[in-house]
A and B are shown apart, each in its own frame.
Chain A
Amino acid sequence: MNNAQCPFQFLTASYLVRILDVKASTLADLADGLEKCSDGSIFFHTFQSLGRHHFLTEGFSNDFAQWILTACNRAELAEQLASLDIRDYTAIPELRADLRRIVKDYCEQHSAFATQQAFEEFPFCEAVEVTTPLGIQAWDLRQFSAGLGRLSHASLHYHFIASRLRLHFSTNDFSQWLENCLGLKSLASRINQIDIYTNTLDSLRDLLMNLIEPELHT
């Protein structure tokens, strides 16, 4: 079994939620808020929301889409926002621009709905990240597999989902290490194809293990 030149360090991230002084009670407010809020807020309501609700595998994508569906009753706009795939984004400004464009276009096309009061307000929040080493590292695929088995949901989210923003590349920490440090390009690619929208973090772990298992015997 190949040894890596550098080990994979398993970390975990814990998030503190800050409540911002930005709220939306109409779709027009939401468009404004999407312009004014911090990058941490966009992250919280999209990338982090997916992690917080990982156990929902049907129809939940991000907080904005959920609010538009349940508080504004605008299913077609909710669908447009829900269909944004965070895997396509490696930087928050790009994601913010698309979110804002979709909401703004809708408001322009449906001006009566733009100022309609929602059932409840949308409070913008932001996530403040604190990372901590878990004290687990892997020098080869077997140790990596063992490490995966011991990871919490937060750690899986940090390495597999939030990592795109850190790496500024359409991949994740696991695939990056497997390809660059162990030379397992095909395995890295297959792992990167796992659909995080239709899996829970637990089923994500099972899929990872299933993909790695045959490689342990080659």
Chain B
Amino acid sequence: MTSETNVLRKIYLDDYSPILGEAEVDELRALAHPLHGHTVQMVNSTALGGGVAEILTRLVPILQELGLSVRWDIITGGNEFFAITKAFHNALHGGPYPLPPESFDAFLATNEQNLTRLRMDCEFTVIHDPQPVALIKGRENNSGHWVWRCHIDLSRPNLTVWEFLKPWVSKYDGAIFSSPEFTKSLSIPEYLFFPCIDPLSEKNRELEPEEMRAVLERYRINPRRNILTQISRFDRLKDPVGVVRAYRIVKRYFDCQLVLAGGKADDDPEGETVLQEVIEAAQNDPDIHILNLPPWSPTEINALQQASTLVIQKSLREGFGLTVAEALWKKKPVVASAVGGIPLQVIHKHTGLLAHSVEGAAYQIRFLLSNPALAAKLGQQGHEHVREHFLITSNARRYLTLFLLFLRAGK
């Protein structure tokens, strides 16, 4: 078992100037100036796969380009450790915790083993998610500034796991959450950092028309007719059957096609069942395209979003729901449920429309199809909203601000 330091491809901040404007990029540099040479350590449990690794792959090089000395370390552990942390993850989302109490000792032992291999000597240390949370034991003489970045929804945790983790979290100088809804009451300051998308990534870059056409042809989607799209895995909480019902209501008034695109999560045994339920609900309607995409299909998702007339996210429960930010970035009008992090992205009647039922979603879709000028305006304002708040550069700015705050406050 060896802990690793992840070495990343360089990113040039100037590449973001055409998107953000030079003034915004200059401002990032000004904020970073007092932090030149200061050391930062990011620690998580995986280099590849998952949202955290995806963000760090871009964030770390951006902070390095801004002059900070940033290291990204990955903890390692055996199968037992990751089975425990997977059980933690499910339990923190409110599920049961089926493992015995000794599992907590095994968890701490793996954190201890990582401490013997990792150097924890930076001025700013950011520990991501519960897996490495006990590394704070390696903080010497209360030195440096330590922050816990929690990417998961802690609002309804299984108390067995939370009561075990809470004393560790309380040792940090602050905790960062993705939404005010995801927090637990803590004795340390809690900060709000939105998750983010990278406008230069394969999933969000502007595609050439022929790239889009190729994807639509592959899935036999007609670009000249209205396309309503929901991108999400086949999970009951994303209510794909509800989307089919809303589409049927809309179809009475408008010619349209429905695209339900996503994959089945490997760790979700219900995925196949839900997919079958959706196929059944579609009743062989040739205008309903159910696309079971491979896990990593960024170009396909990008093309489907860009080609859409309107994007739907009719979830019953949601984490942050970054597919909404992806659609808004592509200037698409969005109709979405007011759950999880969605209302932070869809400001009703300003950057999209919120709905609370199948019938409500259908009504909002019809309203937007009847008012294309308003739909375009919501899409444009949604794009601006994402530019201000949900891009990787905004995330970098928040980290810079946090480090500056710590630096100026001293100890």
Residues of A within 8 A of B (CB): 12, 14-19, 21, 23, 52-53, 55-56, 59-60, 66, 69-71, 119-121, 123, 125, 128, 130, 132-135, 150-155
Contact = CB atoms under 8 A, between A and B. Distances in A.
A14 B400 contact: yes
Interface range on chain B: under 10, 10 to 19, 20 to 34, or 35 or more?
35 or more
Nearest to B192: A17
A180 to B, nearest CB: 26
Contact of B180 (A119, A123, A128): A123
B84 interface: no
Contacts of A15: 401
Contact of B181 (A59, A123, A132, A151): A123
B192 A125 contact: yes
Contacts of B398: 16
26 contacts: A14-B397, A14-B401, A14-B404, A16-B401, A17-B191, A18-B189, A18-B190, A18-B191, A19-B180, A19-B192, A53-B385, A56-B350, A59-B349, A60-B347, A66-B347, A119-B356, A120-B181, A123-B180, A128-B405, A130-B31, A130-B401, A150-B23, A152-B27, A153-B388, A155-B23, A155-B27
Given A14-B404, A150-B26, A53 B180 contact: no
B297 to A, nearest CB: 31
Contact of A18 (B26, B33, B192, B338): B192
A21 B180 CA distance: 10
B93 interface: no
B177 A70 contact: no
B283 interface: no
B34 A132 contact: yes
Interface in B355-396: 356, 381, 384-385, 388-389
A66 B354 CA distance: 13
Given A56-B350, A152-B24, A19 B190 contact: yes
Contacts of A154: 27
B394 to A, nearest CB: 10
Contact of A19 (B30, B177, B385, B404): B177
Interface string B163-195: 000000000000001001101010001111000
B408 interface: yes
B343 interface: yes
B348 interface: yes
A119 B348 CA distance: 13
B281 interface: no
A19 B343 contact: no
Given A18-B189, A132-B33, A152-B23, A53 B347 contact: yes
The 6 closest A-B pairs by CB, nearest first: A123-B180, A55-B384, A17-B192, A152-B27, A14-B401, A70-B348
A131 to B, nearest CB: 9
Nearest to B401: A14
B350 A121 contact: no
